[in-house]
Structure 1
Amino acid sequence: MAEISKKLTVLSQIAKELNRRQITWAIGASLLLYLKGMVQEFHDIDIMVAEADAEKAKKVLLSFGKLLPAGPKGQYKTKYFWEFDVDGVDIDMMAGFTIVHDGMDFYFPLEKEQINDYTEINGAVIPLQSLDEWRIYYKLMGRTDKIAIMDR
């Protein structure tokens, strides 16, 4: 539980700065499922960002931690994808999220209108992506385990 608390503290610190700079962003993936009470843990923090704010968001994250070397892209063609280490917490930042499925590119840019849910952590407002959107993403990724969790 201490590990989760540390991750959420890091998230709240970053969130305050992203919000202060009026960056359009939202939480996705397993942290979204955690914040919605669907899973008991999450491994990293996935921050989805509007493409127009990608470079600004990168600077914010660099002010908190270090950029990690790029890993393999696999089934993704995301326009902006960076991994950061902030106090030992792995943070993935994505803008222009694109999933390759059956040889086709499925493009899912984050737009302000898609964010209609929020939570608060340590006094920081945390925008959340839609579970419906993530169900589509997981289906395209072949993540039947995550879909089963969401369907319960």
Structure 2
Amino acid sequence: MKFDDLYFIADELNKEKVRWMIGSSVLLYFHGIVNSPNDIDIVIDEKDIIKVKGIFDKIGTEQAKEKKYPYLTEYFYTYIVRDTSIDIMCNFGVAHQYGDYRLKIDEVAIVEYRNINNGILPLSSLEDWYVLYQLMPGRENKVDMIEKYLVRNGVNHYELFERALTQSLPEEVVHKINIVMCDKG
């Protein structure tokens, strides 16, 4: 992944006033949790899906991608922009044994706006991705990395954990969230 590609994409989305946020490994990179992300994962607001599809059709090449269970994401696109793979997700959801979990995108979910290279990068929260990664198969390593970070540095967005707990979640996920929320390092 090339960061210049991220800044280029951010500029294109911001020019069109799209509500979007960065998640996954780029988010972890910005918190010093991983050394280098492989691709860019962008979550967008449903009201902007047509606008975003148009932007990426102009600046990138769409790649064929199948929906895979347990992911319930309503709109999921993969593009190559310059040299970087971009996953675009709208109404991002994950199924689990007790129901479905959906990531909400609103001003509460965007917890930080980073100004890098004169570009504004809206970041989602580690708290939201801590919950999501627990629901995704094969992401135990990322769950452990985020958990260690939150225990060491503290939870910054209790309200997002509380919001997550209003949705259907497996008991073990609820338990882990409660432990991290109560742990003061």
Identity across the alignment (%): 35
- TM-score, scaled relative to structure 2: 0.75
- Whether 1:41 and 2:6 are equivalent positions in the alignment is no
Aligned letter for 2:25?
A: S
Q: CA deviation at 1:70?
A: 1.9
Q: CA deviation at 1:66?
A: 0.8
Larger Cα-atom Rg: 2
Q: CA deviation at 1:103?
A: 5.7
What's the counterpart of residue 119 of structure 2?
A: 124
Cα-to-partner distance string for 1:3-32 (whole Å, 9 max, x where unaligned): x5xx21011011011111110000000110
Which structure is higher in RCO with an 8 Å CA cutoff and minimum separation 6?
1
Q: CA deviation at 1:125?
A: 0.5
SS of the residue 1:48 aligns to: strand
Aligned letter for 2:123?
A: L
Displacement over 3 Å in runs of 4+: none
Q: Structure 2 stretches of 5 or more lacking a match? A: 149-185
Cα distance in 1 between the residues matched to 2:107 and 2:12: 17
Q: CA deviation at 1:120?
A: 2.4
Aligned letter for 2:26?
A: L
Cα distance in 2 between the residues matched to 1:62 and 1:77: 23
Aligned residue pairs total 147
8 Å CA contact retained: 1:8, 1:121: no
Cα-to-partner distance string for 1:47-89 (whole Å, 9 max, x where unaligned): 0001111121121122211111123423111011000011121
What's the counterpart of residue 88 of structure 1?
A: 83
* Stretch moving more, 58-67 or 105-114: 105-114
Cα distance in 2 between the residues matched to 1:146 and 1:71: 23
- Whether 1:65 and 2:60 are equivalent positions in the alignment is yes
Cα distance in 2 between the residues matched to 1:92 and 1:120: 22
8 Å CA contact retained: 2:130, 2:147: no
What's the counterpart of residue 105 of structure 1?
A: 100
What's the counterpart of residue 143 of structure 2?
A: 147
Structure with greater strand percent: 1
Cα distance in 2 between the residues matched to 1:69 and 1:138: 24
RMSD between aligned residues = 1.4
User: Match for 2:10 among 11, 15, 34?
Assistant: 15
Cα distance in 1 between the residues matched to 2:129 and 2:108: 16
Cα distance in 2 between the residues matched to 1:62 and 1:109: 25
